[in-house]
Chain A
Amino acid sequence: MKYKVTNIFLAIFSYTWLIAASFVVLVPVIWMISAAFTRGNLLTSVPLIPDPSRWSLSNFEFIFTYRSNPASQMADFPGAFLRTLQIAILTTVGVTFFSVITGFAFARLRFKGKKFMLLTMMVLQMFPSFMGMVALFLLFRTFGILNKPNYLALIYIAGSIPYNTFLVRGFMRNIPKSLDESAAIDGASPLQTLRLILFPLIIPIIGFLAVGAFMGPWLDFILQARFLQPENITVSVWLFRTTDPFNTLFYNPLRFMAGALLIAIPIMVLQFFMQKYLVYGLTSGAEKG
């Protein structure tokens, strides 16, 4: 009898907790959505209980119709979006390509200094990356590629190689080596083995890397804020400017909410569709560290 009472108590407690937690999780999100549809620029004018009948599209209208001009200090949102998209695509392609190649080399090939190289790579990336920014800035200036958004992809690619190599390597080691060996007996070169035998098998980890690489540029701020002039800024800088109270000309938290929504939704959709790859990444994170 007593056992049953405990059970009922536990069930009530569980549901209470879950409802409360859902409330805490969802309220800020709903508030954000409702703010995005509120006219004006004051947080106080956002109603606590969303009222879709009074929603206005003015923030979105501004985002899509505002065009940057030489006099303004702020790029337009569509431009920022396209620039970020370009960086993201370049980064994705580069990261996938290089991670697979280096991961393959470290997983399957024998060469001198392998462990040393892997360890050095892993340790080097522990250095606070933006401390190197002064140097990267000089580097970009030396080669005349400052203020050119696409070249930022180089930094993202290089920065992601060490950890991704580690992941791909870990994944490949779980694939039996006999596959490679039989391919080699049939006369396949290492690159052919990689392309024809291993590549189809490592699609899950590639999916994980690709999603991560694609999302990176949308969510990185410092590099883009430091390397790009106002007319060339990206989405994250755009968003930060609209929510920075010191930036009196462009500060508008409601506009920020609208812009944030426009970025968050595609990323969430992407994550949703790529879920099985992401879950793989999670578990591999748990096993391999």
Chain B
Amino acid sequence: MDKKPRFDQKLLAIFTKPFRVLKEVLADIKKHPDAFKSALLSVFIMGAGQFRNKQKSKGAIFLGLFLLVVLVEVLTGGYIYALDEIARFPADSGGTVYFIRDYGGFFSYGLWGLFTLGQVVGQTIYRGQFVETFNKNIPWLTADNSVTLLGRGLIVFVIALVIFGFYVYNIVDAYRTRKQINAGAEVETGIKYFKRLWNDMFPYIILIPSLVMIMFFTLVPFLFSFLLAFTNYTYRLQIPNVLIRWVGFDTFRLIVGDAGWFNMFLGVLSWTFIYAIMSSVTVYLLGLFQAIIIESKFVKVKKLWRTILIVPWAIPAMISLMVFRNVFDTNGLANQLLYATDMMRPVSTFLYNIGLQGRLDNPIFWLTANYNGNLAKFVVLIVNLWLGAPYFMMLITGVLTTLPKDLYEAASIDGATRFQQFKSITMPLILRATLPAIVMTFTFNFNNFGAIFFLTGGGPAFAREVIPQSMRIMGGVPGQTDILISWIYNLSFASNAQLYNIASVYSILIFLFIGSISVFNLARSKGLWEED
């Protein structure tokens, strides 16, 4: 009973905070009209307030940034032609001249593109002229390409956001400094100011290059594909003769509402989970098993066995996967071995009887026949086992060698059998040390694009009658071993699909799932939260 109102109050406080801050600021301004003048100067021209405060070098930097922005905007725009051209090519009757579209520079044009996604398409008449896909001489006769506009717009938006930050800082700084001067403080000289700035801002300054890179190469792409989920962008749109539109949740509705598509999705999703869970569990168990065998007292020359069994870990996964693609080729090692040892018929019969193989073949089509989906999935898991077990073997061997000996001594004095010791000392210790690695392996395998793409390429394909009507029309059919991530790849890049909007929706799905797991994992780990 006690907690709820407190929470409400907190919420209220959060919502009213901006107003309270605004009130305080206004009151402060009333008290210091002279400082407000400096701030006002900086509002119109960056750095002007600083000049008024007699901080020349600081002002020069702000002014320089301001001029740079203006210069870039003017030079990349077509403002100098605007008046003349508008007079010569007036708007069509009933239409308008899109001024920013036609003459805007880097910033204004970019933001315009982001918000409108384009206004004039190819093969139409605009301002009495024919709009082409690309017009070298007259920029505004080039059709609007919504995708490019969206991408460019985001880049500009991020850059503009940073500049806006400087702009706000410039205003606040002009105000504060003036206030201090009026209160009798000494004017900070340029060098002194920069020294202080360097000291105060040191963490941010050394982080800037990294943050800029993350912004461009992680954040912008993230936002871009996030936004694509709310558009109707597929290859079928004849860009730039058609504009992309914001369609809200239509794409979400399509992939859930269309029964055939949704079933296909559920199939891929459940295989993704089966694959991620099974691959992590099998790899862990085999690794554990082999580590225990090697570390047991029965085995001599431990180093030799360890070195041999670790070989798969040393070979780059991508290369092993492509080698295994050849191993399980119809002419590959697997079938050759079966032939050489006269095992082809029994093995094929066995696989047929337990339902992995759809037909009694000879040779076996491991990864290609569309009735062998289960067999291909099985092969995927086996190959993953080959690749992944050594990692856990090494990890667990490492844990085993660090186990405290005295625990075992105490246990055997108390009369515990070896199995009891294993169950209540070894296993819990190993589990505790390797749990994060298991979670990590799970999330890694959930998104293990390479394990599918290089080995099976998603194949074998589904039989034609299984494919729902909607997918036959739109493309983007998954393969039988496709997990979500490799399906997304096909959805976006296969030549007959390129359903970017749908791929984006699924990416968001994966992101929410994997993201929450890792946030959970991080939140649990003490390392992140405890402050020194």
B-binding residues in A (CB < 8 A):
7, 10-11, 14-15, 17-18, 21-22, 24-29, 31-32, 35, 42-44, 46, 48, 98, 101-102, 104-105, 109-111, 114-115, 117-119, 121-136, 138-139, 142, 154-155, 157-159, 161-162, 165, 170, 173, 177, 190-191, 215, 218-219, 221-222, 226, 236, 239-240, 243, 253, 256-257, 260, 263-264, 267-268, 271-272, 279, 282-283, 285-289
- Contact call B507/A131, Cβ cutoff below 8 A: yes
- Contact call B315/A29, Cβ cutoff below 8 A: yes
- Contact call A31/B296, Cβ cutoff below 8 A: no
- Contact call B436/A288, Cβ cutoff below 8 A: yes
- Contact call A221/B327, Cβ cutoff below 8 A: no
Residue in B217, B317, B440, B449 whose beta carbon sits within 8 Å of that of A155 in the complex: B217
- Contact call B214/A134, Cβ cutoff below 8 A: no
**4 smallest A-B Cβ distances: which pairs?**
A132-B221, A289-B436, A138-B151, A135-B224
- Contact call B437/A28, Cβ cutoff below 8 A: no
Residue in A27, A43, A104, A239 whose beta carbon sits within 8 Å of that of B319 in the complex: A239
Distance between A231 CB and nearest chain B CB, rounded to angstroms? 21
Chain B residues with Cβ below 8 Å from A48 are: 333, 336-337, 340
Chain B, residue nearest A44 (CB): B331
- Contact call B316/A264, Cβ cutoff below 8 A: yes
- Contact call B329/A253, Cβ cutoff below 8 A: yes
B485 interface residue (CB < 8 Å to A) = yes
A-binding residues in B (CB < 8 A):
147-148, 151-152, 154-155, 202-204, 206-207, 209-211, 213-214, 216-225, 228, 290, 293-294, 296, 298-299, 305, 308-309, 311-312, 314-320, 322-327, 329, 331-333, 336-337, 340, 386, 391, 394-395, 398-399, 433-434, 436-437, 439-440, 443, 447, 449-450, 453-454, 485, 488-489, 492-493, 500, 503-504, 507, 510-511, 514-515, 518-519, 521-522, 525, 527-529, 532
Chain B residues with Cβ below 8 Å from A128 are: 447, 485, 488, 507, 510-511
Knowing A115-B529, A219-B318 touch, does A131 contact B504 (C-beta < 8 A)?
yes
- Contact call B437/A289, Cβ cutoff below 8 A: yes
Query: How many A-B contacts if CB must be within 8 Å?
Result: 264
- Contact call A21/B290, Cβ cutoff below 8 A: yes
Knowing A109-B203, A128-B510, A282-B394 touch, does A289 contact B525 (C-beta < 8 A)?
yes
- Kindly state the separation between the CA atoms of A134 and B447 in the bound complex, as whole angstroms: 19
Knowing A98-B210, A253-B326, A286-B436 touch, does A134 contact B147 (C-beta < 8 A)?
yes
Residue in B207, B218, B298, B323 whose beta carbon sits within 8 Å of that of A102 in the complex: B207
- Contact call A26/B154, Cβ cutoff below 8 A: no
- Kindly state the separation between the CA atoms of A165 and B225 in the bound complex, as whole angstroms: 25
- Kindly state the separation between the CA atoms of A31 and B210 in the bound complex, as whole angstroms: 45
- Kindly state the separation between the CA atoms of A17 and B217 in the bound complex, as whole angstroms: 47
- Kindly state the separation between the CA atoms of A7 and B437 in the bound complex, as whole angstroms: 33
Residue in B147, B204, B320, B440 whose beta carbon sits within 8 Å of that of A285 in the complex: B440
Residue in B152, B293, B439 whose beta carbon sits within 8 Å of that of A14 in the complex: B293
Chain B residues with Cβ below 8 Å from A155 are: 217
- Contact call A132/B394, Cβ cutoff below 8 A: no
8 A-B contacts (beta carbon < 8 Å): A14-B296, A28-B324, A29-B311, A29-B315, A43-B326, A129-B221, A132-B220, A219-B316
- Contact call A221/B398, Cβ cutoff below 8 A: no
- Kindly state the separation between the CA atoms of A263 and B221 in the bound complex, as whole angstroms: 31
Distance between B177 CB and nearest chain A CB, rounded to angstroms? 21
Chain A residues with Cβ below 8 Å from B224 are: 132, 134-135, 138
Chain A residues with Cβ below 8 Å from B298 are: 7, 10-11, 14-15
Chain B residues with Cβ below 8 Å from A127 are: 218, 222, 225, 507, 511, 515
Chain A, residue nearest B213 (CB): A158
- Kindly state the separation between the CA atoms of A285 and B439 in the bound complex, as whole angstroms: 11
Chain A residues with Cβ below 8 Å from B447 are: 128
Chain A residues with Cβ below 8 Å from B394 are: 279, 282
Distance between A217 CB and nearest chain B CB, rounded to angstroms? 11
Chain B residues with Cβ below 8 Å from A279 are: 394, 398
A24-B386, A158-B218, A286-B437 are known; give 15 further A-B pairs, CB within 8 A. Answer: A14-B298, A28-B320, A43-B332, A48-B337, A115-B528, A125-B218, A131-B503, A131-B507, A132-B220, A132-B221, A165-B210, A219-B318, A240-B454, A272-B314, A282-B394
Chain B, residue nearest A45 (CB): B331
